[in-house]
Amino acid sequence: MQVRRWRLAHGRELELGAEALIMGVLNVTPDSFSDGGRYTSVEGAVAAARAMIEEGAAIVDVGGESTRPGAAPIAAAEEQARVLPVIEALAKETDVLLSIDTYRAETARLAVSAGAHIVNDVWGLRKDAGIAEIAAATGAGLVLMHTGRERQKLPDVIEDQFAFLRGAIEIARAAGVPDEQIMLDPGFGFAKDPGENIEIMARFTELADLGFPFVVGTSRKRFIGHFTGRDVADRDVGTAATSALLRMKGAAIFRVHDVAANRDALRIADALLAAERARD
């Protein structure tokens, strides 16, 4: 697996490829599909982040607006009031890499100023292309996620990935974001039915032709429940299985709720990959 470096804000960088890395999900929202309402105080959110770090998270991804299907949008000021105190506190207390999960340029700017190193945009720059300008100006790592929401998708899931993500890359490059700051995300669960999610997993190696490393976020998604029959709270074993399988197919970073379970699964996958390399 190719080793490369991901350039981030505040002079930080991250080595990708040598071993799987975990991005812990920290939702400071009342209505997220999996953990809404659990971390609505700064103290509670910081404590949860510390636990993720102890369990092996290299990155903590802080989000202030639910992206579940049907979630009501909130005002930018409310989003910022939720996430900025948490990012500020974590930046002071820990050395962990911090990501802001937002599609708003102003929230991204304020979050990076508060200490975030990465901007994770679930709309792939389609809601607010100004995020690319923030990444270019600050050096922040930029995650461009595929989504099928609010548009007509192409019939073939991989063709649609290429069309959407290439467009996002073009927007980022036009704003001056160097390729070394960009990662991609196939957007599991975002306007995709169970069959489409599984097909993306089955054909994941095809996405390597885009030329960028990938973050993946299958954690507790509805398609895992579809295939396992499990409710949201009981999907961590299924999530860990998808993480290990996607690691074997080349994914670099895994955005998850249960860090420990996925860390164990990914260590097995990394051990298998190491054995395969030694045999070649």
Judged against a pLDDT cut of 80, whether residue 223 lies above it is answered with yes
Torsion angle of alpha carbons 215, 219, 222, 227, nearest 10°? 100
CA 199 to chain centre: 20
Name the pLDDT band for 38 (thresholds 50, 70, 90): low
Indicate the SS3 state at residue 214.
strand
The CA distance from 203 to 185, in Å, is 14
Residue 255 predicted with pLDDT over 60? yes
Measured in degrees and rounded to the nearest 5, phi and psi for residue 139 equal 80, 15
Assigned token pair, 268? 């097995």
DSSP label at residue 149: T
Q: Give the three-state DSSP class for 181.
A: helix
Which of 191, 187, 195, 126 has its CA nearest to residue 152? 191
Instruction: Say whether pLDDT at 36 is over 60.
Output: no
For 118, other C-beta atoms within 10 Å of its C-beta total 30
Which residue is it, tokens 């990938």?
Answer: 214
d(CA 25, CA 138): 23
Q: What is the pLDDT of residues 102-141, one digit of tens each?
A: 999 999 999 999 999 999 999 999 999 999 999 999 999 9
Could you report the per-residue pLDDT of 141-187, keeping only the tens digit for each? 999 999 999 999 999 999 999 999 999 999 999 999 999 999 999 99
Cβ–Cβ < 8 Å for 5, 141:
no
- The set of catalytic residues is 221, 255
- Tell me which fold the domain 4-279 belongs to: TIM Barrel (3.20.20)
Instruction: Give the SS3 label for residue 33.
Output: coil
- Paired tokens of 92: 């002071």
Contact status, residue 9 vs residue 137, Cβ threshold 8 Å:
no
Contact 242, 261 (CB under 8 A): no
For the chain, the structural domain boundaries read: 4-279
Give the pLDDT confidence of 65-107 residue by residue, as tens digits.
987 776 778 999 999 999 999 999 999 999 999 999 999 999 9
